[in-house]
Chains A and B, each alone.
Chain A
């Protein structure tokens, strides 16, 4: 693209003797200042055309308008300590920043809900177990990842259930699920969604690609039905209609119903993710597996799924992000997830100030953003790694 200054380029058959060719060397021009160094960068990237210059200035103006006031609100004017709303009412004009004192005082509630205080170590232990399992699975070069999968999908859920719900026989008093709340519930709902959606999603994806019409049609019906309706109606259905579907003696726990709803919902979406992976496995792989005499499950388990799941890891992580964000909807069926605890705390007259709501939401936003962002980055890195492996 760029013309090359003083160098002489000769085509075929053109020599320096030709009349139209410059034969004297011109003095070397200085490099234009504006293509190198910081100024050059600015010109190339911010002010390359009049339109771009205007855009740059407008955006700069907007940023100057927004960012300092956000920083002022979140940090400089913020109230960091206090015991009730008086601390956050501010001066006569009510000019005050975020009321972090409110978050500080309510933090245990945001994390554990009403989980009995002497029992909260159980929740902490659950968080540690979960982080351990997640780390094991997410670190692709970790040793014995097969064992990690067994831990995450079988051992940990059972231990977590016993730990959180309690088992008086071994000295853990039972804690009713109506007392669970905050981050605990958010994490439990997300985890159950993840743990349930993978196996069911894989089954549904295989079902949708089955050669048996009955299996295929039922899988398609389930997947398209769930994907066609909002999560909120699935949750309503689980919480209002599930009890009518089963004999009265069964009447499932409120949290359990929401979990069933979330599991169904995320399975349908996971099925589509896995199906995409299955579609990407070349036909030759199936044919080769068949030629080796592998039966269906061995073919899927040994040849197809390992490849299909590997290339879908980024998408699986992305669907976990979506699931994590969607857990906020259990709000509507009366379950105290993080957002709901913030909503409850926000209207508490003890802390009612003009900035309480914004502070609570800022806290929740930071929480969700940090986790989702980390997971996005992780998915991107895996994607990059897979792409590199592909190229090689």
Chain B
């Protein structure tokens, strides 16, 4: 082989040079990709022009004219544009994603810890839960919750009253809606002040703990302080609270806060499904902390709860953050399955109704992709920042 190589200087040798070859490959690849991109672009333009399909983003300013069953911001059929519908959908997606992440994390931690419990029954029930939920497609679970469970709730005429103030039926859960008087701003101000005091207290408590080793209560007094400040100030400035209770109307329940069954089914499905994965992440994280750590802590006389909170979880956190980030991303992306059960999330409103009413598939799908990429990167960045904060600081 060596003989062959040293024989000819020239083109062959040049091609044998890995660097030259590398550059050639790359140039070739770039040209090919650019070529493909141009071809796709031209095909799209051709196809759109030949079929007389409108293009551009002007449609975002047109009046949408369709109704949306859950809107977090003002949206009216008469005046709102497709652009507004975009935001309504996006906020609905964010709402389900944020709530889902919080609840799935809580449930996931509980189940993950339960899997490692010394209680045989608890550990095995948790294990069965994880095995069962993980091995069934999420879409099937969503359809089950929506079509088999929530639709089986009683009809609106036979609503189940809950404690006399709320109503439950197959159109959702209706809760009393509080409305506050004008003193709310003062109360909020006091609340913020109380929160600041609570943080100062936490700082003092921490310093003292580090100096003397005596813990001071932080959470309970803090919560009492903030809530107390809110209530007392509001009462002091003479604020009133009125509750609008849900009432059965001719067709529907009127008054109160309405929680759509589509929302509940989606939230349930996402939380239950994702919690099973988070439980596994938590379990792996807890197991990653060397046994010696908990034994040493036990030898120091810490109780089991303390060992978990002060020794194990802070260390396990570092291992758990990357896979946890993934689960959060999955949950956000999975919320798009809302389409199957009619919850007005971003995909249902934008990639569904708006695409269909405007017929501008290319623009709508591109915007959809951009939105999800942005959400993914934002979540990754936030978790990356948090991960960096809790990382080991090596001295």
Contacts and interface: CB of A to CB of B under 8 A. Distances in A.
A384 interface: no
Contacts of B144: 358, 361, 365
Contact of A237 (B22, B118, B334, B365): B365
Contacts of A361: 140, 143-144, 147-148
Contacts of B121: 45-46, 55-56, 59-60
A245 B48 CA distance: 10
Nearest to B379: A228
B43 A244 contact: yes
A369 B135 contact: yes
B22 A241 contact: no
A372 interface: yes
Contacts, number: 148
Interface residues of A, number: 55
Interface string A205-236: 00000011111001000000101111111001
A55 B119 contact: yes
Contacts of B143: 339, 343, 361
Interface stretch (B237-245, B249-257, B306-314, B336-344): B336-344
Interface string B365-391: 100110011001100000000000000
A225 B134 CA distance: 25
Contact of B25 (A215, A331, A358): A215
Interface stretch (B6-14, B26-34, B258-266): B26-34
A330 to B, nearest CB: 10
A213 B26 contact: yes
Of the four ranges (under 10, 10 to 19, 20 to 34, 35 or more), the interface on chain B belongs to 35 or more
B202 interface: no
B125 interface: yes
Q: Is the interface of B mostly helix, strand, loop or mixed?
A: helix
Nearest to A241: B365
A232 B337 contact: yes
Contacts of B339: 232, 332
A228 B365 contact: no
A229 B376 contact: yes
A246 B43 contact: yes
Interface string B119-134: 1111001000001101
Contacts of B117: 52, 55
B139 A329 contact: yes
B119 A45 contact: yes
Contacts of A212: 22, 25-26
Contacts of A240: 355, 361, 365
B373 A229 contact: yes
Contact of A244 (B22, B47, B355): B47
A344 to B, nearest CB: 12
Q: Which of A244, A326, A343, A376 has the most CB of B within 10 A?
A: A244
A248 interface: yes
A59 B26 contact: no
Given A245-B44, A368-B136, A46 B373 contact: no
A325 interface: yes
B29 A233 contact: no
Contacts of A162: none
Interface string A32-62: 0000000000000110100010011001100
24 contacts: A46-B119, A52-B118, A60-B121, A212-B22, A214-B26, A214-B29, A215-B25, A215-B26, A227-B376, A229-B369, A229-B372, A229-B373, A236-B365, A244-B48, A244-B361, A245-B44, A247-B46, A325-B137, A326-B137, A328-B139, A357-B147, A361-B143, A361-B144, A365-B136
Interface of A: 45-46, 48, 52, 55-56, 59-60, 63, 211-215, 218, 225, 227-233, 236-237, 240-241, 243-248, 293, 321, 325-326, 328-329, 331-332, 339, 343, 346, 354, 357-358, 361, 364-365, 368-369, 372-373, 376
Given A233-B351, A244-B48, A247-B43, 11 more contacts: A212-B22, A213-B26, A215-B25, A231-B333, A293-B1, A325-B137, A326-B137, A329-B139, A332-B340, A361-B140, A365-B144
